[in-house]
Amino acid sequence: MKSGETELPEYSSSDEDFVDPWHVASKSATGIDYDKLITKFGSQKIDDNLITKIENLTGKRAHHLLRRGVFFSMRDMHGILTLYEQKQPFYLYTGRGPSSEAMHLGHLIPFIFTKWLQETFDVPLVIQLTDDEKFIWNDITVEEANRYAHENAKDIIALGFDINKTFIFSDIEYISSCPEFYMNICKVQKLVTYSQVKGIFGFDVSDSIGKISFPAIQAAPSFSSSFPRLFKSKKDIPCLIPCAIDQDPYFRMTRDVAQKLGGVKPAVIHSTFVPALQGVQTKMSASDPNASIFLTDTDEEIRIKDYACGVLAREQLQEILIKLLQKIIGKHRQNRALVTKEMVKQYMTPRNLECSIVT
């Protein structure tokens, strides 16, 4: 895409499938049509050539989430692979909106894949916890949102991210400790008009100014200059963002302003959604406890929820599925119980991140 060309398709509530960061809805019995979404969002489909290229460059079999098409769409992945080939640095950026005590099964998808990317490419990773976003959108206090950020950090740490290469931050805390992060937020806020965020996110005049200005806060970690203590003040390290495709509107906006503020357009790799327990017409979401299997659910809760809904599989498969979920979540519960407050503090302290290609 040439600089100055816009990447911002308009929000339309009349389309059959609806996907934005807060709502996912399909009228079709088979769920979201992801090919149509690629066309609508203007991203690119991940094809076999890209997967083979990743395997050839890394000398490693591609992750099954990639081989099975769960990660199905991208922006500028070829550029990231060229950097890797030329031994140039890049970093990973992903995040979580801490709206509840624990994360759910769907959230595991981007985080498991991010861990694989970090290990395969040996790159640093920043993880944004948008406690500010969840306070602004949800009926929780700002203190609760910040506490959930720390609780959710335990789920993330339990997945085994390398402490020497990973920085997890709460917006509320990091904004007040890093002027460079806030400077980038201001730059994005100055470059994006109300009319643009209205077009991208569907905001209207009744939305709070907190909501309207928030996208700049999710955009800012895409620029390495937001992390002077992590990247030895290098301002132009490109970034790759793994996420489900609901987060793409933020990064379309970010890519549109990146060059104007002296940054590099972030690359993005998108996954499909783990569906809600009730059916494929929406995504698993923390705002509906009955639609989701949380990473803190007990074996009994997993069984009850699965039987109550029974859409994940037909009856014969249900027992197999319940046992599998109990095994995965049970292991996660054990790992999470080992994460101490001190460990959370270590991951959340800004420090130099190790990486063989960031010098």
Nearest to ligand TYM of 128, 296 (CB atom): 128
CA atoms of 184 and 44, how far apart (whole Å): 28
Q: Is 189 exposed, middle or buried (0-12, 13-18, 19+ CB in 10 A)?
A: middle
- Say how far apart CA 169 and CA 89 lie, in whole Å: 21
Binding stretches for ligand TYM (CB under 6 A): 21, 93-97, 106-107, 109-110, 128, 130, 133, 218, 241, 243-244, 246-247, 271, 273-274, 283-284
**Cβ 220 to ligand TYM shortest distance, Å:** 10
Of 190, 211, 192, the C-alpha closest to 202 is 211
Q: Smallest gap, in angstroms, from Cβ of residue 281 to ligand TYM?
A: 12
CB nearer ligand TYM, residue 40 or residue 53 = 40
Q: State which residue, 121 or 201, has the beta carbon closest to ligand TYM.
A: 201
CB of 242 to ligand TYM, least distance (A): 7
CA angle 278, 282, 284 (to 5 degrees): 70
What are the DSSP E strand ranges found in the chain? 18-19, 24-25, 44-45, 71-75, 91-96, 125-129, 166-170, 239-244, 267-271, 275-276, 279-283
Which residue's structure tokens are 């037909």? 314
Burial 78-116 (b: 16+ CB within 10 A, else e): eebbebbeeeebbbbbbbbbbbbbbbbbbbbbbbbbbbb
Nearer to ligand TYM, 245 or 319 (CB): 245
CB of 2 to ligand TYM, least distance (A): 26
Q: How far is the CB of 56 from ligand TYM (least distance, A)?
A: 27
Give the span between the Cα atoms of 109 and 244, in whole angstroms: 8
Provide the minimum distance between the beta carbon of 130 and ligand TYM in the complex, in angstroms, as a whole number: 5
Shortest reach from residue 159's CB to ligand TYM, in Å = 13
Residue 160 or 356 with smaller CB distance to ligand TYM: 160
Which one, 176 or 356, has the nearer CB to ligand TYM? 176
CA distance 149 to 102: 9
Amino acid identity of 39?
T
Residue number with the smallest Cβ distance to ligand TYM: 97
Which of 22/55 has CB closer to ligand TYM? 22
Residue 157's CB is within 10 A of a number of other CB atoms, namely 23
Q: Which is nearer to ligand TYM, 218 or 326 (CB)?
A: 218
Least Å distance, CB 359 to ligand TYM, is: 26
